[in-house]
């Protein structure tokens, strides 16, 4: 999943800063665990260097640099903001970005204890984000469509993990999403990748949203799946009451997409337990707990 020919170290990050942004070069640098397309390095308390380590990562960063300054001012939760651009060089042949740091602990390493508060925060955040996107907004090639367009992906994840006696319930949720009418409104701004590693928690509630590299214009159901994937048991109904823009068909699509996201999290957790590249051990328990919420409905 990653390109291993470039070893990214604290020394390399400091050298790149010294060459291109010398006023930041003396900040304390420490690696942040996790990441997928990008490796993160804290720069002091307020900033982070986002260093691409996959072939697609530069495009991910360009998307964030282009659109986060447009979206961030209207969002009610903290999100990363690009503040400096690093240009490709002989030392590191890809563009990189210095972003603001969003305080909090990733949800896959923490927990939400104030469920009602978190439901309100997420609903207000998505109401603000889900505005009509401009014509030149990015379009996703691997997500964003009706669930019926993603049955192959669902089937792959479904057969890759052990669901035990819940398999029929999970399949029924997916089939219901596939049968639901599609999104008929204009393409809306969608984060596209809301799951426990991409939200942060502080004081028991949602404190920020990170990693907008998969943002696109499309069906908001892809974000509304977070009602089950992110929020604790019993919070989904309150979330949809506060969000107040999702009709029955959208909720059905969102619930099915939540099931698919949970299966993906479980598979990545399994890969992590096996020590496979790209595996995330903390994602498995988060995905399993979220899937239990999906099969229990909105309660």
- Residue corresponding to tokens 């503040």: 83
Per-residue tokens: 159: 């057969």
pLDDT in tens, 32-80: 987 778 899 999 999 999 999 888 888 889 999 999 999 999 999 999 9
Q: What are phi and psi of 160, to 5 degrees?
A: -90, -15
Q: What are phi and psi of 110, to 5 degrees?
A: -145, -160
User: pTM for the whole thing?
Assistant: 0.94
Per-residue tokens: 19: 């060459």
Across the range 178-203, mean pLDDT stands at 97
Q: How far apart are CA 189 and CA 276, in angstroms?
A: 33
Q: How far apart are CA 148 and CA 94, in angstroms?
A: 37
Across the range 250-271, mean pLDDT stands at 97
Q: How many residues does the chain have?
A: 299
Across the range 254-268, mean pLDDT stands at 98
- Using the predicted structure, report yes or no on whether residue 216 has a pLDDT greater than 60: yes
- Using the predicted structure, report yes or no on whether residue 3 has a pLDDT greater than 60: no
- Using the predicted structure, report yes or no on whether residue 4 has a pLDDT greater than 90: no
Model pLDDT, residue 197: 94
Cα–Cα distances in Å, from 108 out to 24, 36, 201?
30, 14, 10
Q: How far is CA 231 from the centre of its chain?
A: 14
Model pLDDT, residue 142: 84
In the chain, % of residues over pLDDT 70: 97
Neighbours of 192 (CB within 10 A): 21
Closest CA to 209 of 196, 220, 198: 198
């Amino acid at each position: 999943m990653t390109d291993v020919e470039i070893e990214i170290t604290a020394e390399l990050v400091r050298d790149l800063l010294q060459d291109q942004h010398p006023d930041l070069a003396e900040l304390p640098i420490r690696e942040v665990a996790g990441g997928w397309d990008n490796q993160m390095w804290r720069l002091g308390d307020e900033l982070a260097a986002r260093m691409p380590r996959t072939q697609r990562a530069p495009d991910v960063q360009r998307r964030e640099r282009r659109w986060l300054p447009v979206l961030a001012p209207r969002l009610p939760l903290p999100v990363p903001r690009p503040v400096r651009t690093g240009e490709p060089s002989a030392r590191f042949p890809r563009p990189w970005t210095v972003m603001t740091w969003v305080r909090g602990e990733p949800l896959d390493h923490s927990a939400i204890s104030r469920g009602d508060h978190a439901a309100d925060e997420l609903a207000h955040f998505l109401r603000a984000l889900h505005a009509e996107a401009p014509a030149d907004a990015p379009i996703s090639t691997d997500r964003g469509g009706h669930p019926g367009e993603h049955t192959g992906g669902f089937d792959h994840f479904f057969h890759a993990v052990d669901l035990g006696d819940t398999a029929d319930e999970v399949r029924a949720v997916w089939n219901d999403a596939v049968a639901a009418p599609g999104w008929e409104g204009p393409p809306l701004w969608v984060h596209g990748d809301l799951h426990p590693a991409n939200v942060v928690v502080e004081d028991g509630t949602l404190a920020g949203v990170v990693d907008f590299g998969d943002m696109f214009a499309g069906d908001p159901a892809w974000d509304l799946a977070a009602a089950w994937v992110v929020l604790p048991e019993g919070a989904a109904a309150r979330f949809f009451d506060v969000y107040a823009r999702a009709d029955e068909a959208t909720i059905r699509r969102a619930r099915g997409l939540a099931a698919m996201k949970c299966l993906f999290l479980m598979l990545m957790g399994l890969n992590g337990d096996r020590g496979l590249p790209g595996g995330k051990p903390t994602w498995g328990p988060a995905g399993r707990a979220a899937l239990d919420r999906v099969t229990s409905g909105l309660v």
